[in-house]
């Protein structure tokens, strides 16, 4: 299988641990803004899904794993015993510490799925970090988003997780919503901070093709997000979180000291990762490959013993260098200040770029213009190999 050949190359290139991502595609409904690879199901095909993931994992060499991330979709729709089986058998398959899963193991969850019993079962299975899809604390906004929970469920979910011993809790919030929703962004930030999460992920609303939001805009039922509102709310969040001792360590992510997402940080630093499941991506440092998107196509390929890889690309030296620039500038660490990366006057004068600790770093205003900054940098300098 092409899957096995790719991962053999990955292991031959790297002796350090890789990061394991498992895509769980199932959702009960599609959110208004979502263009992710999901499968809307009233009944979750748990047995078929777990068998398919374990079959794919069985064709991969037993490399060491540094983090595990169950993303989606809605991983919290899987029954707790299915999550336990997945993690237990992956522990047997790969080189993962057995003692209480000393590595970071994240589960994405919707608030309505988090009950005290479920949280305790997840903790026993090895989950020690939960990323909670809060999005807003305004019930009208949640209904517009097609979310299945109300604002009260968010706080109940956080308390259930803490009661089960899961302290590392991240909240997702979406900003820059259409004006007609009258969403109070500062109130949402206050409500989120009152729950004392260890981590926050902030995503500006974007209009993706063929989503419900795209259709609403095309027929005039709502308006596209406003750029000025986007910038204002992003900078408001940055100031508010900094005051509350959170560090924005990446353009969309803030954490208390010691609670950065180790898994997501691996993507931004170019470290190798392996993806299992439909639409999952893998990267060995030079080649990126991805599985077929649709759940049914993935399931059939696994059942018939065929490769699940839809396509792959090998990055050129120039592409790898460009990615290093872009990914580094997404983070608070920034880019090493070597001769080719001297700060351009137009960027520093406008306050978008600064030099600190021997590194080139974006300011919050610069993060709002990251694509333009990278473009200007790479057009005026020679990218090193």
User: 362-374 pLDDT, tens per residue?
Assistant: 999 999 999 988 8
User: 11-68 pLDDT, tens per residue?
Assistant: 544 446 899 999 999 999 899 898 888 899 989 999 999 999 999 999 988 889 999 9
Please say if the pLDDT value at position 196 is more than 60.
Answer: yes
Give the pLDDT band (50/70/90) at residue 382.
low
Q: Residue 313: what pLDDT?
A: 97
Query: Cα angle at 280 between 278 and 281, to 5 degrees?
Result: 150
C-alpha 315/C-alpha 247 separation (Å) is 32
Q: What's the rounded mean pLDDT across residues 251-277?
A: 96
C-alpha 30/C-alpha 39 separation (Å) is 9
Give the pLDDT band (50/70/90) at residue 284.
very high
Q: Residue 380: what pLDDT?
A: 57
Portion of the chain with pLDDT greater than 90, in percent: 71
Angle, nearest 10°, between helix axes 227-243 and 185-194?
A: 30
Element holding 249 (H helix, E strand): strand 247-250
Element holding 108 (H helix, E strand): strand 104-109
CATH architecture label of 2-268: Alpha-Beta Horseshoe (3.80)
User: 341-350 pLDDT, tens per residue?
Assistant: 565 677 776 8
Burial 57-74 (b: 16+ CB within 10 A, else e): bebbeebebbbbbbbbbb
* Least confident span in 92-96, 117-121, 145-149, 297-301: 92-96
User: 87-109 pLDDT, tens per residue?
Assistant: 999 988 888 765 445 899 999 99
Decide if 106 contacts 126 (C-beta within 8 A).
Answer: no
Decide if 110 contacts 134 (C-beta within 8 A).
Answer: no
Q: Residue 119: what pLDDT?
A: 98
Q: How many CB atoms lie within 10 A of CB 375?
A: 13
Portion of the chain with pLDDT greater than 70, in percent: 91
The residue ranges of every structural domain in the chain are 2-268, 316-385
Give the pLDDT band (50/70/90) at residue 226.
confident
Q: What's the rounded mean pLDDT across residues 118-122?
A: 98
Q: Residue 1: what pLDDT?
A: 52
Q: The pTM is what?
A: 0.92
Q: Residue 9: what pLDDT?
A: 56
10 Å CB burial of residue 181 (0-12, 13-18, 19+) is middle
Please say if the pLDDT value at position 182 is more than 90.
Answer: yes
Tokens of 315: 């990055």
C-alpha 140/C-alpha 156 separation (Å) is 19
Average pLDDT taken over every residue of the chain: 90
Decide if 20 contacts 276 (C-beta within 8 A).
Answer: yes
C-alpha 203/C-alpha 250 separation (Å) is 12
């Amino acid at each position: 299988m092409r899957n096995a050949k790719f991962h053999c190359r990955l292991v031959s290139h790297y002796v350090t641990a890789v990061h394991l991502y498992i895509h769980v595609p199932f959702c009960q409904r599609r959110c208004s803004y979502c263009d992710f690879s999901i499968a809307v199901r009233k009944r979750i095909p748990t047995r078929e899904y777990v068998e398919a993931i374990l079959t794919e994992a069985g064709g991969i060499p037993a490399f060491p794993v540094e983090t595990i991330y169950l993303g989606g979709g809605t991983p919290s729709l899987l029954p707790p015993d299915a999550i336990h089986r997945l993690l237990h058998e992956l522990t047997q398959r790969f080189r993962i510490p057995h003692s209480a899963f000393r590595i970071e193991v994240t589960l994405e969850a919707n608030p309505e799925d988090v009950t005290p019993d479920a949280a305790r079962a997840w903790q026993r299975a090895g989950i020690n970090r939960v990323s909670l899809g809060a999005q807003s604390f305004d019930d009208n906004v949640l209904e517009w988003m097609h979310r299945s929970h109300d604002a009260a469920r968010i706080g109940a979910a956080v308390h259930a997780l803490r009661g089960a011993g899961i302290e590392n809790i991240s909240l997702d919030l979406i900003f820059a919503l259409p004006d007609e929703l009258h969403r109070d962004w500062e109130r949402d930030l206050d409500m989120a901070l009152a729950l004392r999460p260890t981590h926050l992920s902030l995503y500006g609303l974007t209009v993706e093709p063929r989503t419900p939001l795209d259709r609403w805009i095309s027929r005039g039922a709502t308006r596209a997000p406003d750029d000025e509102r986007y910038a204002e709310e992003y900078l408001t969040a940055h100031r508010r979180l900094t005051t509350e001792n959170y560090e924005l360590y990446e353009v969309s992510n803030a954490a208390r000291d010691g609670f950065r997402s180790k898994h997501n940080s691996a993507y931004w630093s170019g470290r190798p990762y392996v993806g299992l499941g439909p639409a999952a991506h893998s990267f060995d440092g030079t080649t990126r490959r991805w599985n077929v998107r649709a759940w049914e196509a993935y399931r059939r390929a696994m059942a018939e013993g065929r490769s699940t890889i839809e396509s792959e690309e090998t990055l050129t030296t120039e592409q790898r260098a460009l990615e290093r620039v872009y990914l580094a500038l997404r983070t608070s660490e920034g880019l090493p200040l070597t001769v080719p990366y001297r700060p351009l006057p137009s960027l520093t004068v406008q306050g978008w770029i600064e030099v600190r600790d021997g590194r080139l770093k974006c300011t919050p205003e610069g993060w709002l213009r990251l694509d333009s900054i990278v473009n200007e940098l790479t057009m005026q300098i020679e990218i090193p190999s």
